[in-house]
Structure 1
Amino acid sequence: MPQFLSSKNAKAFLLFVGFFLYSNIFAQQPLPKEQALIFAYFKGNGQDGLHLAHSQDGYTWSALKKDSTFLRPTVAKDKLMRDPCVIRGKDGLFHMVWTVSWNDKGIGYATSNDLVNWSAQRFIPVMQHEAEARNCWAPEITLDEKTGTYLIYWATTITGKFPETQSTADKAYNHRIYYVTTKDFKTFTDTKLLYEPGFNSIDATIQRDGKRYIMILKDETREPAQKKLKVAFSNNLIGPYSKASTPITVKYWAEGPTAIKLGKQWLVYFDKYTEHKYGAVRSDDLQTWTDVSDQVRFPTGARHGTVIQVTQKELELLLKQ
């Protein structure tokens, strides 16, 4: 204790230190005992399928099933399962979409009631109507809880579109974010453009924040290199979204964001893909971000995934696998 403090000030100092330590511990252990977090991810090129990890505090993650696969991909020509996005639907089921191929015009889809047993996999041809579509990358699902409508969105390059941001780098990919909606995953609306930020963009993920929505996405610009995450906001799930913010990640290249609010803090996890490890940033207000990459631990080799909340009962079944 600093000797220059009076006894009264010393007591106040100790109370402050105690509160500070308690606040930081609480910030990293915000989940009730009956709840847990699951991280769905892929490894390598996505050829072996879905991997899962669990956490109680959002910072330390442990692989489930000895880091072996929970579901092997069976659809599309390449039979990959990259960028898995899993959400809990209004029906109580887990709904998952994923990237099936580097160059295909659709995405994969399957459901489960426990993350162990899965339905037959389906191929949803969301860009089949576009002759010049080159790909469908990193699909995600966000539920509009008021209407029961699911927004499915992904990144696609359509050759000849958006020439103002066209480059020959990165195999001349020039992505934008597109979407369809559905209420039953059987019938879908026509594909439309969801967000045009004015730059080559991929890996969008959308979370509800009170009455508004936050979109976190990657600026994929190669010349000059950006490769950083940015955020945009909207009062409606399908937009329009605001101008993208300045980067919320720093010097490293980042992709595949997934976000969750723990207590009063937002955590955004992302794949530091050139460094072959995971990172994270944290914010109380979605405006100011602190890099906490040195505080998170993920299974070795984890790639672009999503985080969801489950019950301890659901986790117990996963731990038995």
Structure 2
Amino acid sequence: MSSETSDFVFRHVHSFNRYIFGHKLPNLKVLSLRSSGIRELPPGLIGFGTVNILDLSNTISLQKVSGYLENIHALQELYMINSFSGWEFPFLLFMFSKLTRLYHIENVEYLSHEFSSSLTEINLIEFCITVGSPAYFDSTYQTNMQITTSKPISTWVKELMQRTENLSLFSCHLDHMCNIRGIVGDSLLIFQNLRKLRVQLCHGFKDLFSITLAAQGLQQLEILEIIDCHGMKQIVAMAEGEEQVVDKKGWFPNLMYLSIENMLNLTSFCQDGVLLDWPSLICITIKLCLRLKRLPLGIQSALKLDMIGGENE
């Protein structure tokens, strides 16, 4: 084996020749152990400090990584889909300061834990993170997050959510959480990069957005999907202490696709009599929303609208 080797790919193996990982490989940049049946990382991996890309995807038998990855200081891309999930997710971010791409499914409950470190120095530009729910990723977006939670999320999650383009809230339940504000708080910056939002099986939600968030905080949103939230009566509702917004021109300026399905108690999108411009809206799909009688559409609304689909059986 040459010390000049830069790429290593191992697949469907269950053990390693200790001789291979006992050598120093100063030029190794890419190491793939995808779909390997290993239970722990090779001991010699601690000497591979130059690795930029590490793929541990589908290593479902992997049980131990502590003491190995901490030494890969140059790591920029980490792929751990369907793999080891015993680490605290934020620890990964704080440990690898050069990490720019993270594809990792995490099932532990650290969404509500505060950490002293901040994500402001983290360089992540691509990530797919799922916490506490089945994996759902859309390759259209660079930054994906899907969460299930029964507690308000912590500061580090909110900071990461500000970078998220594709967010899915799946089966989120909290005693005092009646909308998305109960999860993320009052910041209008939390969804500054959000392009797609999917909300599903959040039965405790009475509404989804406050008026202020709808008017100012969803400027980049292109796709909105709301499914099976049986407690929801209204999508945009006035929050406590809010004043009614007269000008609706700023609401959902880039929304192109609106899908609302199986919303048993939904009666309106927003306050009765309010009409929105919907300047970018192309497609509306309404299914199994028997109590929803109308949408906030006027004669001059949604001039780009090309398709309306519905089903009430």
TM range (shorter): under 0.3
Please identify the structure whose Cα radius of gyration is greater: 2
- Structure with the higher strand share, 1 or 2: 1
User: What TM-score comes out, normalization by structure 2 length?
Assistant: 0.22
Give TM-score scaled by structure 1 length.
0.22
Which has the higher relative contact order, 1 or 2, with Cα contacts under 8 A spaced 6 or more apart?
A: 1
